[in-house]
Structure 1
Amino acid sequence: MNCLNINKWCFALLVVSFFVLNTSCKQNSEASVLEADVVSSIEIKNEIERVEPMHWWVGFKNTELQLLVKHPNISAATPKISYKGVSIKKVNKADSPNYLFIDLDISKETKAGQFNIVFKFKDGNELTQTYQLKTRETPAADFVGFDSSDAVYLITPDRFVNGDTSNDIDETLNEKTINREDNYARHGGDIKGITQRLDYISDMGFTAIWPCPLLTNDMANSSYHGYAMTDFYQIDPRFGTLDDYRELADKSRARGIKLIMDQVANHCGSAHWWMKDLPFKDWLNYQENFENGGKLKTSNHRRTSNQDIYASKIDKEEMANGWFVSAMPDLNQRNPFMAKYIIQNSIWWVETVGLGGIRQDTYPYPDKAFMSEWAGSIMTEYPNFSIVGEEWSTNPLLIGYWQDGANNRDGYDSNLKSPMDFAMQSSIVKALNEEETWDEGLVKMYEGLANDFYYASPKDLMVFPDNHDMSRIFTQLKGDIPNTKIALSYILTMPRIPQIYYGTEILMNDFQKPGDHGLIRTDFPGGWQNDAVNAFTGKGLSNEQKDMQLYLKKLLNFRKDSEAIHNGETLHFAPFKGTYVLFRTLNDEVVVHIINKNNTPITLDLTRYAEVGLKGKTLKNIITNETFVWGDRIILKEKGSLVYTTKL
């Protein structure tokens, strides 16, 4: 072949290649436009009464999604979906004709977008509901939960700050009044109020916030409480909107503060929307009693039946299946549709808001096999996440049973990272309230911490001086300020995740009627316009309140940067002559916590602690900034606690 022919052949090949490439690109481009047009040009329709979850995401490890569809006589319809990557695996009818549960599979290749679900009836009628699959905003690995480096601020939202007075009353809901004189009425605190005071929370040294539930509680009374949910997918309008909640999460995150959501898997409120038309005959426990007007069976609250090898069947049943109280129907998690509903709801909130953790209410009350599945499903999708569960028991054996990694003889693993340490809370209060036998009292604290050998991961337990369901710590300790400081400093230096209830920093109390829940959840002063006392600015606070606020602020901010407290080794010495000493050590940082219950000066022999290796080293008091060189002795001038650090 001569050069001319070769050139002609090469030119022809080039022309053909260009034509093929151009045609292919054009076809791909047209296909992309067509696919985009299918997504963007569909007519948006909302002809179905309720579909939950309202939207979902692509890219989960679990490709299954179950839709709850609620509409009059919807069981007579056949749903159809035409969207690449989404397929209907099964359509499940309920006992009520007004429900369908649709099992979808969302393949790994599915693109985010909108599509219509068409419900076709035999008479030719159709109903259409537009559904959306979203792109996940945050990689799963970036959902980092709370841990021992955090300090959690627990808030009763209705009683903290009223940041938006326009949402105080919602005429569409049952409770339509605001009355700050009534401890069980709504007072008007809301999500915007928390958001407005994030700087205060951050400046105090907290790194996480846990508001009590913010979902709709359309109950006739005490709806401020939050734990009788009547819609699991809606923020209570009196607290704000979903956008308000997302703003709280975003602005918290920007300050290095994690948002923990309080959730309830065990029960709902008796005014929940589904109570008028329950999907299945076993949607609730003891549902037959409820529907037939019979006597409701409430829980016997015998939580030990979860572990008790001798427990009777009736005790186990009444514990797990009984309604928490008569106004809180017990959800039956053994119903597979209920189980999926609860799991998907939790994941929906994690993904929608970008949560930094979940606090699960009444952890031992639901079906315990389900609770393992629930926690496991969440942790599978978010491996760095955290869940704290309420187990109100002062027995470490019961608390430890619920922690992930526990060596339980029955083989049970709840997949729960952080049980709540009610046992330690009780030990601290009992120890500090013992006046005459101070050594024995301190031994209760010492042995309480010594029980850590039983826990799978002690530092992942959540410890606290009090919470929204018990008397304020200042009340429990009989108004003793030095003892209150001891309790707080011990909690903040031990290997735990500490939680502090709002107002503890200003000695809020319930002396008037100890244990009264409405009084425990008193308004935070300064959270309402024209409050005579303002704890945010210090206006009207007593000297004792200001001192406690500053004390806790210094402790928390020191703790925030102390790796020894976050992850250090723990060493403590048995109480001796009314004193108890705890050390936290990591590399060259040592934190020393000295508790002294003596009312008169005492000289503490430091040679007893020689194995720590502090002799000759300079330590600083984190409250006063005074320094001293660790020698053979130290004079403890008064009752209280001292926290020292080698970090100068």
Structure 2
Amino acid sequence: MKKHLVLITLFSILLVSSCKEKSKESLSEDSNEPIVEVNDVRRVEPPFWWTGFKNTSLQLLVKHSGIGSYNAEISYPGVTIEKVHTADSPNYLFLDLKISETVQPGKFNIVFSKDSTSKLFQTYELKAREQKAEDVIGFNSSDAIYLITPDRFANSNPNNDSFEQLNEKGIDRKNNYARHGGDIEGIASHVDYIKNLGFTAVWPSPLLTNDMPSGSYHGYAITDYYQVDPRFGTLEEYKELASKLESNNMKLIMDQVANHCGLEHWWMKDLPFKDWVNYQEHYEQNKENWSSEIVKRSSHRRTTNQDVYASKTDKKEMTDGWFVKGMPDLNQRNPFMAKYIIQNSIWWIEYLKLGGIRQDTYPYPDKDFMSDWAGAIMKEYPNFNIVGEEWSSNPLLIGYWQDGHENSDGYDSNLRSTMDFAMQEKIVAGLKNKETWGTGLKEIYVALANDFHYKRPLDILVFPDNHDMSRIFTQLNGNIVDTKMALSYLATIPRTFQMYYGTEILMNDFDKPGDHGLIRTDFPGGWNGDAVNAFTGENLSVEKKEMQNYISKLMNFRKNSKAIHNGKTMHFAPEKNTYVLSRFLDDETIVHILNKNEQPFDLKLDRFNELGLDGKTLKNVFTGETITWSNTLTLNHKGSYLFTTKL
């Protein structure tokens, strides 16, 4: 009797198992049976995808022990496997899928089989897109962008400050290079503050996992390209932040890194190909005893991208060298790496409904790949925008990276925007230098005159400072008037404007200029127990409150000024310590004046007759006072003056 019971039990187990296996494999959309969702495979990336893209190809990275010896099958209408690629590591497969234009959203299982008894199943989903591609609108010259280092902005959820499974544990606000606890919820809970200042877009530095031993609070040493760092929050909270910004008519810009990853990235422990990262042989041979002397560092000679005389050696050292010893340089010439990066960017755009991408260290990756990357994104989202970081004070280099620029080597970046470090540098120099021939305000005037080199000046991103340079207040030696002059000029010229958090309250790095940890100081009021709260104004000094008010007036005016967004520009060569610039569109004209005279000065207006303002009434944006434009305008103090015909 016991023998019969054992046989019956074994038969029942086999029958149930057989039915389950059959259910896993019977996955056509015509089936009435619900899909059995399984996740036998350790990792599949992208984790899901969408229907309706112009590019109907999708490549899946599959990571699992021994998966390289398995075959793969999919039975789902509209989805076919075109090719299965093995890698140098036996623990990877790359599946080339074809997603038909008529495929329906749904779930299906990928069946991996080695023989009749060795099978793995992985459920995959194609989602329906929530928006039309043309409705994805990128940031533009009508936007003012608020840049945030999330770890240093606000800690609204102390429960996510530390995780045992991560390398760096705990927070230490006394250490400028440790984590301080700021998070996504901290940004989301202060959207109203940012909006009331007049900003229309938010750019947080990277929020993806940086599971490094130390010093990765900044987010640029990514160790998982599809996971939000749990110390910042969850994927759902990231999406909620995007939705909250959207509901406030604001955009979310994602900071991405195509050049390098963090040394603790999961694939560094088992690299799929022998050329997955550059100088991989140095790492493979020495990873057990890794040090800064072993790594081949980038030369940072970014001009090799354009230099017609550059040697192959210099080009390779620049492009292939690691940015720092803890950031392996990704090899975008590997076609699987190239597809991985492109698909990752598109995945985040679609998932978060992004309003733009800021691409870190733009000149460092393979430049032909970067053109392909930007082109693939803009093909799917024709109204999107990407800004690339080209840290150069040479407008020739800045212009080279903007799409449509007629470069002598025929290169087209497909990149709509790049960053104007040249203008930033000249504004600081022009405000600090005395008014002698060729210096002072003339430096600023000439810098703007260089706009003839740019295909579309309006798309260039300008800024007073950012997370990698001294605060503008520090650069201008703590001079509040000069700081206001820099900000007002930057906000009115034909550009897209970006400002770093805390500039509105005169944050600075006086104690150690240029120190990154100090530049990224905690925003006061972002932590429970802060003695000063800049969000509410509690215990904030008078001069800082006044600067906050100044920024609010400036940015809110800019938000509503069509002349600044898309108007024509006319400026007049500086004379007698003054520089006049105007923007005009239809019935709106704005006039911006930089005045470096310490004593009251009468500015004769007949020189500016081309503006057609004689006899018209203009309002001072900052004071609300009105003037009649006629004969002479008295400038009572040094500083910036901003007038508008919109009363």
Pairwise same-fold verdict (TM > 0.5): yes
Counterpart in the other structure of 1:257? 250
CA contact (8 A) 1:439 1:576 kept: no
Match of 1:541 in 2: 540
Residue 394 of structure 2: aligned partner: 395
Please give the secondary structure, in 2, of the residue aligned with 1:275. helix
Secondary structure of 1:223's partner?
Answer: coil
CA contact (8 A) 2:28 2:77 kept: no
Query: Counterparts in 2 of 1:233-632, with a 5 A limit?
Result: 233-293=226-286, 295-435=294-434, 437=436, 440-632=439-631
Amino acid at match of 1:114: K
- Per-residue CA shift, 1:124-181, capped at 9, x if unaligned? 3101101001000111111100000000000000000111111011111011111111
1:97 equivalent among 90, 96, 104: 90
What is the aligned partner in structure 1 of residue 77 from structure 2? Answer: 84
2-structure distance, mates of 1:434, 1:200: 35
Give, in whole Å, the separation in 2 of the partners of 1:634 and 1:571.
19
Shift of 1:435: 3.0
| Alignment-derived partner of residue 51 in structure 2 | 58
| 2:28–2:76 CA contact under 8 A, matched in 1 | no
CA distance in 2, matches of 1:440, 1:414: 34
Contact kept? 1:463, 1:499, Cα under 8 Å: yes
Over residues 423-445 of structure 1, what are the superposed CA-to-partner deviations in whole Å (9 max), with x where a residue is unaligned?
00001011111135387211110
- Match for 2:176 among 179, 183, 187? 183
Counterpart of 1:128 in structure 2: which amino acid?
F
Code of the aligned partner of 2:308: I
Q: Write the distance in 2 (CA, Å) between the matches of 1:589 and 1:352.
A: 39
Superposed CA offset, 1:322-346 (max 9, x none)? 0001100000000000000000000
Query: Alpha-carbon deviations, 1:525-578, whole Å to 9, x = none?
Result: 010111100001111111110111000100000000000000000000000010
Distance 1:579 1:616, change over 3 A: same
Structure 1 letter corresponding to 2:239: R
TM-score w.r.t. length of structure 2: 0.94
Q: Does 1:145 align with 2:138?
A: yes
1:136 pairs, out of 116, 129, 132, with 129
8 Å contact from structure 1 (residues 438, 597) kept in 2:
no
Q: 1:633 matched to which residue of 2?
A: 632
Letter aligned with residue 110 of structure 2: I
Q: Residues 96-135 of structure 1 correspond to what in structure 2 (within 5 A)? A: 96-122=89-115, 124-135=117-128
- Structure 2 residue matching 1:440: 3-state secondary structure: coil
Q: Secondary structure at the match of 1:374?
A: helix
Aligned residue identity for 1:167: N
1:187–1:89 CA distance, 2 compared to 1 (3 A): same
> What TM-score results when the alignment is normalised by the length of structure 1?
0.94
Counterpart AA for 1:616: G
Alpha-carbon deviation of 1:38?
3.3
How far has the Cα of 1:34 moved from its partner?
9.7
C-alpha separation between the residues in 1 aligned to 2:400 and 2:66? 45
Inter-CA distance 459–436: structure 2 relative to 1 (3 Å threshold): closer
Greater displacement, 438-447 / 359-368 = 438-447
C-alpha contact 2:27 2:108 (8 A) present in aligned 1:
no
Distance 1:281 1:439, change over 3 A: closer
Q: Distance in 1 between matches of 2:198 and 2:143?
A: 9
Q: Is the 8 A contact 1:301 1:319 kept in 2?
A: yes
Which letter does structure 2 place at the counterpart of 1:560? K
Instruction: Report SS of the residue matched to 1:38.
Output: coil
Aligned to 2:173, the other structure's residue is in SS state: coil
Q: Tell me the CA shift for residue 319 of structure 1.
A: 0.4
2: CA distance, partners of 1:187 / 1:438: 48
Deviations 1:24-80 (A, max 9, x none): xxxxxxxxx996563861211100010000000110000000000000110100001
**Change in CA separation of 1:430 and 1:254 when aligned onto 2, cut-off 3 Å:** same
Counterpart in 1 of 2:20?
A: none
Given residue 70 of structure 1, which amino acid in structure 2 is its aligned partner? K
Deviation string 1:193-247 (CA, Å, 9 cap, x unpaired) is: 1000000011110000000000000000012110000000000000000100000
Distance 1:354 1:612 in 2: 41
- CA apart distance, 1:602: 1.3
Tell me what 1:12 maps to: none
- CA distance, structure 1, for counterparts of residue 329 and residue 638 of structure 2: 48
- The 1:245/1:438 distance shift into structure 2, 3 A limit, reads farther
What is residue 206 of structure 1 aligned with on the other side?
A: 199
**Contact preservation (8 Å) 1:206, 1:556:** yes
Output one character per residue of 1:344-366: Cα deviation in whole Å (capped at 9) or x when no partner.
00000001111010000000000
Describe the superposition over 1:379-411 as per-residue Cα deviations: whole angstroms up to 9, x where unpaired.
Answer: 000000010100000000000000011010111
Tell me how far apart the structure 1 counterparts of residues 605 and 372 of structure 2 sit (CA, whole Å). Answer: 51
- Aligned equivalent of 2:18: none
Aligned-partner SS, 1:284: coil
What are structure 2's unaligned runs of at least 5 residues? 1-25
Q: Does residue 45 in structure 1 map to residue 30 in structure 2?
A: no
For 1:417 and 1:216, how far apart are their aligned partners in 2?
Answer: 28
Distance (whole Å) between structure 2 residues aligned to residue 346 and residue 439 of structure 1: 44
- 8 Å contact kept, 1:39–1:115: no
With 226-235 and 604-613 compared, the bigger mean Cα shift is at 604-613
Q: Are the equivalent residues in 2 in contact too, given 1:57–1:136 (CA < 8 A)? A: yes
* Structure 1 residues 642 and 41: alpha-carbon distance in aligned structure 2, compared to 1, 3 A threshold: same
Which residue number in structure 2 is paired with residue 25 of structure 1?
none
Q: 1:365 to 1:149 in 2, by over 3 A?
A: same
Counterpart of 1:189, as a letter, is G
Distance 1:269 1:493 in 2: 38
SS of residue matched to 2:309: coil
User: Does the alignment pair 1:172 with 2:171?
Assistant: no
My pick for the range that moved more, 485-494 or 123-132, is 123-132
What amino acid sits opposite 1:357 in the alignment? G
- Contact in 2 for aligned 1:39/1:113 (Cα 8 Å): no
Deviations 1:232-286 (A, max 9, x none): 0000000000100000000000001100000000000000000000000000001
Q: Does structure 1 retain, via aligned residues, the 8 Å contact 2:617–2:627?
A: yes
C-alpha distance in structure 2 between counterparts of 1:555 and 1:39, whole Å: 60
Secondary structure of residue in 2 paired with 1:244 = helix
Deviations 1:609-639 (A, max 9, x none): 0111100000000010000100111111111
Could you tell me which amino acid in structure 1 is paired with residue 53 of structure 2? F
Residues 40 and 452 of structure 1, relative CA distance in 2, 3 Å threshold = farther
Output the amino acid matched with 1:515. Answer: G
The code of the aligned residue for 2:81 comes to I
Conserved? CA contact 2:27–2:75, under 8 Å: no
Larger radius of gyration: 1
- Give the whole-Å Cα distance in 2 for the aligned partners of 1:40 and 1:640: 73
Summarize the Cα distance change of 1:439–1:39 in structure 2 as closer, same or farther, 3 Å threshold: farther
